[in-house]
Amino acid sequence: MRKKVVKKPAVRSFARLLATGLTCLVVIAAPSVTASAQPVEPSPSGGDSAPVEVQVPSINEAPGDIEGTPPGQNAPPVEVPPDSGATTTSGQKVVEKRSSREVTDPAEAEEIAQRLTQKHAEESGISARQSGPICFQTRFQSCKTYSTIVEQFIQPNFPNGPLEPIGNWVIDVTLQVRSPLQTQTKENVIQFYGDVSSTSPTTTIPGTYSFQLVVLDLANDSTTTYPAYVFPMVIGGTGYQQYEHYVTRNATNAFDKRTLQFIYIGDSPANDLDGTPVRTRTTGQQFRCDAAQSVNYGTGCVNPNEKPTVQYTQAAFPNISQTVKAGQAAFGFGIPGTGAPLTRGNSADNQANRDAACPRSSQQRLDLLGEKPLNMKDPSCDEYPFASTVQGGYGSTVRWVPLTENNKQGTLMVEFYRGNRVMPGDDYFVSAIG
């Protein structure tokens, strides 16, 4: 029986020998972990830098892995180390295949991010370390964790024999994007952290891990590709890279976003079962930069996938908070933690929505809201969903509220839209507290 022919001590000996040689090789060849990649997004003015821009007829932005590079995407060629046909002392071939996944469990993702950033801090000599969670989503930060698995096997009768596992390389990656609320340069800082471990350190064959960042401009049908970053796929291997991505074209609408993609290669001298070690993952991480008049807050960037929440407290808005609660109970729109947010509409529709919800005719208002409260100064009509939303208009929940409170709400919404760069088409939630 062929399984009895496998001599694991021979595999360990081979792996150790190969690890010694490859470790020396890849450590020498690996770039500095403190290097900062240069921005390469094309400039409309055609500056001195020579960006790598690729026209793409059709880009699939669905998150996930594909083999090689996306169809129709003519990204710069990726250098793939040739397989050496790794063989054990008994003449058996060592083969491998690879896959990746997004770590969706929040606790697991945070644990990986903490571990990777801590290692980077220790290797960089950084004494201070941020306490508390670091990998979380805000309107101005996107952070996600991915895990690549390189599975290695002995195949006694290459290329058709049964596969006998000898272990896996696990490469954990955290990608963090910080987008500034206000900035003339529209610079988004993207940080890559990488860490290597093995399920069977004595038998897995070492190699290299290559990470190449790609930024997709889907609205412009183009990509911006950064140089590949390579670090050792060995026990304790780590990598860090910072990218300063300057956006040169402002978003024309809420859906005009940049999407992160990366090409990765987890490769050793073992033969490839996949045909090619190159894989491409399109992430769900995005950022958007604008100078929109509807925002009216200069130039800046956001994480458009994070829906912000505006708060109405009982202390500041004793009447309007009740309108919000009644409206949410009636329609279900805008309640935090649900899949039914409010959507900002076009400013040109605000007055029509307001007139539909709160008729201008005094008699119609009385018929709709009832008599004005005698103990309320300057009663005015308040509506939910808000007139500035797609959901607003005829049929909204309406109540009498003091005019001063209504005017105060207008100021709150203007500042909320500005402070979160909420463009028409953006979703958000409303929290009524107290």
Contact status, residue 206 vs residue 18, Cβ threshold 8 Å: yes
Residue found under tokens 């993207």: 190
pLDDT tier at 91, thresholds 50, 70, 90 = low
Helix (H) or strand (E) holding 101: strand 93-102
Query: Does residue 135 surpass a pLDDT of 60?
Result: yes
Sign of CA dihedral 352, 356, 358, 362: positive
Within 232-383, residue ranges assigned H as helices are 320-331, 350-357, 362-369
Is the pLDDT assigned to residue 156 strictly greater than 80? Answer: yes
Strand partners, 174: 145, 193
pLDDT at 12 over 90: no
Q: How far is the C-alpha of 91 from the C-alpha of 78, rounded, in Å? A: 31
Beta strand 427-433 with 309-313 is: parallel
pLDDT of residue 47: 32
Q: Name the pLDDT band for 110 (thresholds 50, 70, 90).
A: very high
Does residue 15 register a pLDDT over 50?
no
Long-range CB contacts (within 8 A, 24+) of 21-25 = 22/205, 22/206, 22/207, 22/232, 22/234, 22/268, 22/269, 23/206, 23/232, 23/234
Q: Contact, 211 vs 262, CB < 8 A?
A: yes
Place of tokens 């697991």: 108
Residue 247: predicted pLDDT: 94
Tokens coding 251? 């978003």
Statement: residue 292 has pLDDT above 60: yes
**pLDDT-derived band of residue 187, with 50, 70 and 90 as boundaries?**
very high
Q: How far apart are CA 43 and CA 46, in angstroms?
A: 5
C-alpha–C-alpha distance, residues 260 and 225, integer Å = 10
3-state secondary structure (DSSP) of residue 12: helix
Q: Has residue 414 got a pLDDT over 70?
A: yes
What is d(CA 257, CA 3) in angstroms, rounded to the nearest whole number? Answer: 53
Q: Which of 411, 17, 397, 421 is nearest to 205 (CA)?
A: 17
pLDDT at 70: 55
Q: What residues have CB less than 8 Å from 169, skipping those under 6 apart? A: 148, 149, 150, 152, 196, 197, 198, 204, 207, 233, 266, 268
Quickly state the pLDDT bin for 14 (edges 50, 70, 90).
Answer: very low
**Among 26-40, 88-102, 261-275, 402-416, which stretch is predicted with the lowest mean pLDDT?**
26-40
168-182: average pLDDT: 96
β-partners of residue 265 are: 210, 278
Q: What's the DSSP call for residue 333?
A: T
For the chain, give the mean pLDDT: 83
pLDDT > 90 fraction of the chain, expressed in percent and rounded: 68
Where does 268-404 show beta strands of DSSP type E?
A: 271-272, 278-290, 300-302, 309-313, 342-343, 379-384, 397-402
Rounded Cα distance between 23 and 60, Å, is 37
Local confidence band at 330 (pLDDT 50, 70, 90 cut-offs): very high
> Pairing state of beta strands 93-102 and 141-155?
antiparallel
233-264 pLDDT tens trace = 999 999 999 999 999 899 999 999 999 999 99
Q: Which two tokens stand for residue 365?
A: 């208002």
pLDDT score of 161: 83
Mean pLDDT calculated for residue range 426-432 = 97
Average pLDDT over residues 219-232: 94
Are 174 and 193 in contact by the 8 Å Cβ rule? The answer is yes
333/277 Cα distance (integer angstroms): 47
Which is more confidently placed, 54 or 125? Answer: 125
pLDDT value for 208:
96
How far, in Å, CA of 136 to CA of 359, rounded? 44
Start-to-end CA span in the chain (Å): 74
Tokens 């994070």, residue located: 306
Q: Residue 415 pLDDT more than 50?
A: yes
Tokens coding 83: 């397989």
| pLDDT higher at 58 or 278 | 278
Task: Record the tokens describing residue 323, joined without a space.
Answer: 């309108």
Q: In the chain, how long is the greatest CA-to-CA distance?
A: 96
pLDDT surpassing 90 at residue 399: yes
Q: Report d(CA 320, CA 312) in Å as an integer.
A: 8
Banded model confidence at residue 85, pLDDT cuts 50, 70, 90: low
355-366 per-position pLDDT tens digit: 999 999 989 999
Enter the DSSP assignment of 380: E
pLDDT for 125:
80
Query: For residue 404, which of 316, 309, 313, 311 has the smallest C-alpha distance?
Result: 316
Q: Where is pLDDT greater, at 376 or 274?
A: 376
The confidence band for 8, taking pLDDT boundaries of 50, 70 and 90, is: very low
